[in-house]
DNA sequence: TAAAATTAGTTGCTAATGCAACTATTGCTA
DNA sequence: TAGCAATAGTTGCATTAGCAACTAATTTTA
């Protein structure tokens, strides 16, 4: 790998792309009055798939800090989309679950998300997706 | 593009990779007592390259909101790494410039950044870099 | 079994993000 | 030229991020 290559700002491009996607998603949520943020959506998506998990597990699944998860969940509880339920076996643990309202929110928002993913990937191939995944995974693994 | 493909969480992977990189950079800055954040570095890097620019131009160059730039600059001014200088021609404009201390900071931190980029890309080829750039640019352009 | 270490989660703090609303200045236009 | 629109930047607000320090509960170990 040459020096000119190394000096190229890939971090910046990653950051810029992600910000653009995040912004597009948020604007679409807002325009459709979904009353939800992008990261709140990510948590709801994972809670829908995994039914009943703890803050810690949700943090691992979403690559978020547990403090961040804790605070986003706080907001979702206030919106009555999530309930917390202490574990009787291990009283340190708190299980999280979508409420019926939370499940409805998931089903309501999901089509929008699929549409936006389609938009982002239009003109690109499955091979492109494989390549992106491979390269990002490699970078991820390279970092100590 | 198939539906299974579209439902794959590329946003999440981008987010996770970027967070990992950012975290690695910040920890390296901290371990070497550089007293700087990743985004503060990005602004310093751009100010070093462009010498004398406004908040607006810096925002465009870094893909940041102008309010974000304004506040990060505030911190850099407090650290005496940047000076603000009003334009006599257009009194709305404020030009930004690195102080000598700011230039020194750039030269001091830059080797660390080059090293970290090398680490992130180890085992990958220039073609991989080209592919990543191409795919991210395509996604960026796809977003309305 | 008592003490120490680990684990789950919360709270305080600082920073980055982006929208809306605001001030100040400049440019445009009727 | 008076008035309106556009531009540059700041401030207020809510959200996400992550580290450190903390409480509470459980597990390990001496």
Long-range contacts of B20-26 (CB under 8 A, 24+ apart): B20/A63, B20/A140, B20/A143, B21/A11, B21/A14, B21/A139, B21/A143, B21/B120, B22/A11, B24/A143, B24/A144, B24/B116, B24/B120, B25/A11, B25/B113, B25/B116
Q: Which residues of A touch B28 (CB under 8 A)?
A: none
> Which pLDDT does position A2 carry in this prediction?
42
pLDDT (tens, 9 = 90+) of chain A, 144 residues, equals 444 444 456 889 999 999 999 999 999 999 999 999 999 999 999 999 999 999 999 999 999 999 999 999 999 999 999 999 999 999 999 999 999 999 999 999 999 999 999 999 999 999 999 999 999 999 999 998
Which residues lie closer than 8 Å to A89 by C-beta, 6 or more apart? none
Is the model's pLDDT at B1 over the cut of 70?
no
> Which pLDDT does position A10 carry in this prediction?
80
Architecture per CATH, domain B20-142, reads as Orthogonal Bundle (1.10)
Asked if the C-beta of B10 comes within 8 angstroms of chain A's C-beta atoms, the answer is yes
Class of domain A33-142: mainly alpha
Q: Which residues of A touch B128 (CB under 8 A)?
A: 135, 138
Q: How far is CA B18 from CA A88, A120, B31, in A?
A: 38, 18, 20
Q: How far is CA A74 from CA A37, A40, A116, B64, B112, in A?
A: 13, 10, 27, 28, 38
Is the model's pLDDT at B5 over the cut of 70?
no
Q: How far is CA A88 from CA A29, A91, A93, A94, in A?
A: 37, 6, 9, 9
Distance A4 CA to D18 C1' (A): 32
Mean pLDDT computed over every residue of chain B: 92
Higher pLDDT, B36 or B3: B36
**β A94-98/A53-54 pair status:** antiparallel
Is the model's pLDDT at B8 over the cut of 90?
no
Is the model's pLDDT at B54 over the cut of 90?
yes
pLDDT digits (tens, 9 = 90+) for B17-42: 999 999 999 999 999 999 999 999 99
Instruction: Name the residue facing A118 among B6, B132, B135 (closest C-beta).
Output: B6
Q: Which residues of A touch B1 (CB under 8 A)?
A: 118, 121-122, 124-126
Nearest to A66 by CA among A53, A79, A77: A53
Put simply, the answer to whether B17 touches A136 (Cβ < 8 Å) is yes
* Chain B residues 6-25, Cβ below 7 A from strand D: 15, 19, 22-23
* Chain B residues 28-57, Cβ below 7 A from strand C: 37-40
Nucleotide whose C1' lies closest to the alpha carbon of residue B84: D9
């Amino acid at each position: 790998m040459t020096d000119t290559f190394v000096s190229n700002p890939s971090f910046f491009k990653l950051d810029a792309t992600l910000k653009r996607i995040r912004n597009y998603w948020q604007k679409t949520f807002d325009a459709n009055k979904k009353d939800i943020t992008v990261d709140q959506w990510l948590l709801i998506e994972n809670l829908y798939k995994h039914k009943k998990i703890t803050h810690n597990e949700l943090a691992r699944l979403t690559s978020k800090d547990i403090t961040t998860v804790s605070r986003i969940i706080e907001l979702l509880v206030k919106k009555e989309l999530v309930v917390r339920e202490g574990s009787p076996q291990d009283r340190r643990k708190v299980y999280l679950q979508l409420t019926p309202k939370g499940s409805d929110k998931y089903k309501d928002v999901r089509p929008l998300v699929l549409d936006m993913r389609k938009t982002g990937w239009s003109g690109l191939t499955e091979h492109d997706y494989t390549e992106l995944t491979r390269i990002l995974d490699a970078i991820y693994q390279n970092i100590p």
